Amino acid sequence: MLPKNLQVARHMQHGTSLAAVHPIGFATRFTPHTMATTASASARTRTAPKAVPKSATKAPTATTATTATTTTMLTITSKNYSSWSLRGWLVTRFSGLEFAENVLPPDDPSTRAEILLLSSSILVPCLTHDGIKVWDTLAIAEYLNEVCPKAGLLPADAKARAHCRAISGEMHSGFSALRSSLPMNLSGHFPKFKIWSRAQADIDHICSIWRDCLDTYGGPYLFGKQRTLADAMYAPVCTRFATYDVKLDAVCADYCTLMLNEPEMKEWFSAAKAEKIDNIDELDVEF
């Protein structure tokens, strides 16, 4: 059960006002926040908690507030740092399902206790819908595809659908060098960042996946005119390419620019900017 005083924001398919949008991209970026502490990095390790004392299970603080009347809830964590939260949130938005958002502060001990109630992996995102709990981004996407078949989260054509699942799976389980050495950090900008050769190999492979998709399905999204799971899976890569000024060919740069300017992405950036969280210079885990 989620705490009674949980504050949530409800989302409709076409989102909220973009008036306060903070753009990120190859032309405009976040103003970096003041660098503060690195102490919270160790709190992000994935070791399972031994036991969370009852005293530590205080209610989490969510970042936005309206009513909690909806039966659909997506639990996520930092919008600035959590790439999996972004993927899960985007795919839920793409599904068109109305949902409440439960943003847990990553450094609060009660966060783990609450996530454990929702997700046996103790990881977010996790979705609850009509009493059904589902966690892990790909499982959430497959579930949403069943619940909202008309949303087109997966392409209609069987061959394209298999392709979409394959490249989404690659993002889910691969590219560890890129994910660990260029962590998502929307408030950061590191123009002369030295890219490790293995991370560069991941970047090159991602770019070849994108070029192949854009060429095969005609763009502007990876599987044609409609956004799919694959675009949600690679969206945090677009933000990383902007944060670390990764050099891209024109086709891939255009795809990044398109994704970074999607209304949902701008909405996310705006919320990330407003987030009150200690900045971390160096992340010791992929987050």
Ligand X SMILES: N[C@@H](CCC(=O)N[C@@H](CS)C(=O)NCC(=O)O)C(=O)O
Chain residues in the site for ligand X (CB under 6 A):
44, 46, 77, 82-85, 123-125, 136-137, 172, 287
What's the CA gap between 59 and 203, in Å, rounded? 40
170 vs 254, beta carbon nearer ligand X? 170
| HEC assignment per residue over 115-171 | HHHHCCCCCCCEEEECCEEEECHHHHHHHHHHHCHHHCCCCCCHHHHHHHHHHHHHH
- Min separation Cβ 256 and ligand X, Å: 20
- Min separation Cβ 145 and ligand X, Å: 15
117 vs 123, beta carbon nearer ligand X? 123
Buried b / exposed e over 44-71, threshold 16 CB at 10 Å, is: beeeeeeeeeeeebeebebbbeeebebe
- Min separation Cβ 49 and ligand X, Å: 9
Radius of gyration (C-alpha) of the chain in whole angstroms: 18
- Min separation Cβ 121 and ligand X, Å: 7
What's the CA gap between 21 and 277, in Å, rounded? 19
Count of C-beta atoms within a 10 Å radius of residue 131: 6
- Min separation Cβ 18 and ligand X, Å: 25
- Min separation Cβ 137 and ligand X, Å: 3
Degrees (nearest 5) of the Cα angle 142, 144, 147? 115
Neighbour-count burial of 117, counting CB atoms closer than 10 A to its CB (0-12 exposed, 13-18 middle, 19+ buried): middle
258 vs 283, beta carbon nearer ligand X? 283
58: left (phi over 0), alpha (psi -120 to 50) or beta: beta
- Min separation Cβ 37 and ligand X, Å: 17
- Residue 127 pairs in a beta bridge with 74, 134
223 vs 287, beta carbon nearer ligand X? 287
172 vs 211, beta carbon nearer ligand X? 172
46 vs 58, beta carbon nearer ligand X? 46
* Strand arrangement, sheet containing 126-129: 9-11, 99-103, 72-76, 126-129, 132-135
185 vs 224, beta carbon nearer ligand X? 185
- Min separation Cβ 140 and ligand X, Å: 7
83 vs 243, beta carbon nearer ligand X? 83
Per the document, the length of the chain is: 287
